[in-house]
Amino acid sequence: MNLEEIAQLAGVSRATVSRVINKHPYVSEAVRQRVLEIIEREGFHPNAAARMLARQRTEVIGVIAPEGLEPIFLGGYFPVLLGGISSAISHSDYVMSLWAGSTAEEAQRMYKRILGYKLMDGAVLISSIQDDTLPRSLYERRMPLVMIGPTIMSEVSTVDIDNLAAARVATDHLIRLGRRRIAHITGRHDIIAVRQRFDGYRTALEASQIPFDPALVDQGDFTENSGYFAARKFIPLGIDAIFASNDLMAIGAMRGLAEQGLNVPDDVAVVGFDDMHTASTLHPALTTMRQPIRELGSIATHMLIDIIQGKVTPPHRIVLPTELVIRETCGAIPRSG
Amino acid sequence: MNLEEIAQLAGVSRATVSRVINKHPYVSEAVRQRVLEIIEREGFHPNAAARMLARQRTEVIGVIAPEGLEPIFLGGYFPVLLGGISSAISHSDYVMSLWAGSTAEEAQRMYKRILGYKLMDGAVLISSIQDDTLPRSLYERRMPLVMIGPTIMSEVSTVDIDNLAAARVATDHLIRLGRRRIAHITGRHDIIAVRQRFDGYRTALEASQIPFDPALVDQGDFTENSGYFAARKFIPLGIDAIFASNDLMAIGAMRGLAEQGLNVPDDVAVVGFDDMHTASTLHPALTTMRQPIRELGSIATHMLIDIIQGKVTPPHRIVLPTELVIRETCGAIPRSG
DNA sequence: TTAGTTTGTGAGAGCGTTTTCAGTTTTCGT
DNA sequence: ACGAAAACTGAAAACGCTCTCACAAACTAA
């Protein structure tokens, strides 16, 4: 079943059927109805490949996650983000093509294919490793692009949160509650957002004339376990608060503290980042900086579609608000249960 | 840049260039080298749409997750599965198209598009809701298909674990350790695997002449919270063990138990299902039935590719082994820490 | 040598759309 | 009523490949 056959049945030309399908004006109402009816009756759908070829576009949006992000995947960030992207795409006429490498070798093979073939009309890039070459390569090939998260490339559009400000607010909150020995658990340093959060932490301390102590900063990797070990390292240093760069590490830190008989928040206050689902169901419930992950995904996708369709000219940048969700681990609220 | 231009440069016909690219025999070595060199030099890549159109196949594999599976997504199952699928695809010449609906409306729109257009050469379906109509519809349209998880359709290929046997082994383990009031937290009952695990639990009880008590079964939804509430419901009933249908609910249950001052495993033993990453880092560490999630994904993908290429004729079924990972929450091993 | 097979190559017919161009009919302002 | 403009329609040229078919050249076996 193809355009020609539908045209035959309707007694019109292929071109007219095409016009009806693509909602061109300049088709008489009578003809439109007749063609539509036949298309419906025959269950006809135009061939996607032929369309791509003729129109010189794929109607495909690529979603690309560079290698080495497994922790983010497992931490609950990725599925939520993907949900936002997927939802936005499903409400458009585009189709999602997902590219996620787990090893460097896979990523390499992936990049080659993405760059070589015209497989997508545009791409949403998730996160950004400092020396990732993909954004630049794609940009140079004039591929419409939106990054979720920060980048050093000023030419590309991004949807992001203000990591520095958010981290500063979180740290400030602890300072206001009287904490002075505030430790920080970071993520991998080659992730730009991680460094921004670190800067926010440091800025907050400085603004309050609290000396910055490098010993109170530990590099984690966004896993629960790394938070646990960071906490164990901090305990002998006499800390009274921990600000972790994501919730998972905050949870791990809480485990480490509990194991050493330290009470949260009485002995050590804890603040996380993300506000993942479990944060609110923990005991004590986790105070954390909420970022609108799902919205990050859906807004980036909508922006990309606008860029592809020329409704917006890049670079375009959107910063979504974050919100400090005050629960029990910071000690600002009396504990429940 | 297209085939024609490459042909010009090499002084051969379009057909010959095509043969070189597709590794057809019957191209002289000299010509092959010359063409290859020019392709390399020009950085030429054949147009995917034109290929699809000419070959009548897309080289795309669809990965489809029906609606209502958010809990699975968040529980860590989905990202790992996706990693396995993605890895397998990246080692092939296929491209992954991801279809995940979060609402019923999105799923409906998604199904329509999948069924209407020839957008993929085959599909991997994740999980199976009892009355999901998609597998049947796809099967009737002769779409190559592999399901991950159980299905009532005997015509489709699957990659799965033996849920019933696995649940029985887990329950048996608790019985052997002397537990008699063993509760079970299930997932949503319209997920086939959930019912199979329930059957395994019940079978184990019956085999040991332990009366089945419906009050000791609570329907959760795979979230940590639902495990927490289930545990609170069980406590007044005097239980001495809980077998949860996934790890997340087991963790929630442990939280509920701890909150009521019950010790795990001394008062109540706990066994989970999945062996997600955090299971081993908990305190006490979670005894759980490990299922090879990543392998489930990669094997299903390889099987699908074999089916698409006619190397295997469906239905083909593979059952992967599970393994009871004995840690601390079942009481079989002295606690650490 | 001769017929038959294998190897190598090009011409050209698809694959199923979109879109330009040209031509015809209808509408509209005066 | 008339010319210009707007509304419709179809023919046919792309889009960039694959693959069959025909044919030529190079082997092979007798």
Segment B58-72, tens digit of pLDDT: 999 999 988 766 666
For A55-103, what is each residue's pLDDT tens digit?
Answer: 999 999 999 988 766 666 777 788 889 999 999 999 999 999 999 888 8
Residue reference for tokens 């579609």: A305
B73 touches chain A (CB under 8 A): yes
B34 touches chain A (CB under 8 A): no
| Of residues A49, A80, A255, nearest to B52 (C-beta) | A49
CA distance B176 to chain A (A): 30
Which nucleotides of chain D are near protein (any atom < 7 Å from a CB)? 7-12, 14-20
Q: Tell me: pLDDT of A336 over 60.
A: no
Instruction: Give nearest nucleotide to A28 (CA–C1').
Output: D8
Please judge whether B74 and A87 are an interchain contact, meaning their C-beta atoms are less than 8 angstroms apart: no
Per DSSP, chain A holds a count of helices (H) and strands (E) of: 13, 12
Per DSSP, the residues of A9-72 read HHTS-HHHHHHHHTT-S---HHHHHHHHHHHHHHT----HHHHHHHHT---EEEEEE-SS-HHH
Query: What one-character DSSP code corresponds to residue A159?
Result: E
Query: Of B102, B80, B243, B97, which is closest to residue B166 (Cα–Cα)?
Result: B243
Per DSSP, the residues of B283-324 read SSPPEEEE--HHHHHHHHHHHHHHHHTTSS-S--EEEE--EE
Residue reference for tokens 């085959």: B122
In which element (H, E) is residue B64 found?
Answer: strand B60-65
Please judge whether A78 and B79 are an interchain contact, meaning their C-beta atoms are less than 8 angstroms apart: yes
CB B182 within 8 A of CB B307: no
pLDDT in tens, chain B (337 residues): 899 999 999 999 999 999 999 999 999 999 999 999 999 999 999 999 999 999 999 999 999 988 766 666 777 788 889 999 999 999 999 999 999 888 888 888 899 999 999 899 999 999 778 778 899 999 999 999 999 999 999 999 999 999 999 999 999 999 999 999 999 999 999 999 999 999 999 999 999 999 999 999 999 999 888 999 999 999 999 999 999 999 999 999 998 999 899 999 999 999 999 998 888 878 889 999 999 999 999 999 999 999 999 999 999 999 999 999 999 999 987 655 4
A91 touches chain B (CB under 8 A): yes
Per DSSP, the residues of A259-305 read HTT--TTTT-EEEEEE--GGGGGSSSPPEEEE--HHHHHHHHHHHHH
Query: What one-character DSSP code corresponds to residue A317?
Result: E
Name the protein residue, with chain letter, whose CA is nearest the C1' of D16: B50
Which range among A7-21, A99-113, A249-263, B152-166 shows the weakest confidence by mean pLDDT? A99-113
CA distance B19 to chain A (A): 18
Mean pLDDT for chain A overall: 93
Query: Of A85, A151, A145, which is closest to residue A115 (Cα–Cα)?
Result: A145
User: What is the mean pLDDT of the segment spanning A194-216?
Assistant: 97
A172 touches chain B (CB under 8 A): no
How far does the CA of A47 sit from the C1' of D8, in Å?
Answer: 26
A92 touches chain B (CB under 8 A): no
**Model confidence, pTM:** 0.93
Which of B44, B281, B282 is most worth mutating to test chain A (most A CB atoms within 10 A of its CB)?
B281
User: For B55, which residue in chain A has the nearest alpha carbon?
Assistant: A49
The shares of helix, strand and coil residues in chain A, as percent rounded to the nearest 5, are 45, 15, 35
Query: Of B71, B232, B281, which is closest to residue A278 (Cα–Cα)?
Result: B71
Which of A278, A293, A301, A328 is most worth mutating to test chain B (most B CB atoms within 10 A of its CB)?
A278
Residues in chain A: 337
Q: Is the peptide bond before B265 cis (omega within 30 degrees of 0)?
A: yes
User: For A95, which residue in chain B has the nearest alpha carbon?
Assistant: B97
How far does the CA of A48 sit from the C1' of C26, in Å?
Answer: 35
How far does the CA of A28 sit from the C1' of D9, in Å?
Answer: 10
Mean pLDDT for chain B overall: 93
A-chain residues near B52 (CB < 8 A): 48-49, 52
CA distance A274 to chain B (A): 14
How far does the CA of B103 sit from the C1' of C6, in Å?
Answer: 60
Please judge whether B58 and A76 are an interchain contact, meaning their C-beta atoms are less than 8 angstroms apart: no
Which range among A24-38, A128-142, A183-197, B254-268 shows the weakest confidence by mean pLDDT? A128-142
Residue type, B191: I
Residue type, B153: M
CA distance B87 to chain A (A): 7
For B275-318, what is each residue's pLDDT tens digit?
Answer: 988 888 788 899 999 999 999 999 999 999 999 999 999 999 99
For A122-167, what is each residue's pLDDT tens digit?
Answer: 999 997 787 788 999 999 999 999 999 999 999 999 999 999 999 9
Half-sphere exposure in the Cβ direction for A36 (13 Å, CA): 10
CB A239 within 8 A of CB A182: yes
A104 touches chain B (CB under 8 A): no
B-chain residues near A250 (CB < 8 A): none
For B224-236, what is each residue's pLDDT tens digit?
Answer: 889 999 999 999 9
Instruction: Report pLDDT for A337.
Output: 45
Please judge whether A47 and B118 are an interchain contact, meaning their C-beta atoms are less than 8 angstroms apart: yes
CA distance B273 to chain A (A): 17
Which nucleotides of chain C are near protein (any atom < 7 Å from a CB)? 7-12, 14-20
Q: Where are the alpha helices (DSSP H) in chain B?
A: 3-10, 14-21, 29-42, 48-55, 70-74, 77-90, 104-116, 134-140, 163-176, 192-207, 224-234, 247-259, 293-308
Give protein residues whose Cβ lies within 7 A of nucleic acid chain D.
A 11-16, 19, 25-31, 50, 53-54, 56; B 1-4, 14-15, 18, 21-22, 46-47, 50-51, 53-55
User: What is the mean pLDDT of the segment spanning A191-214?
Assistant: 97
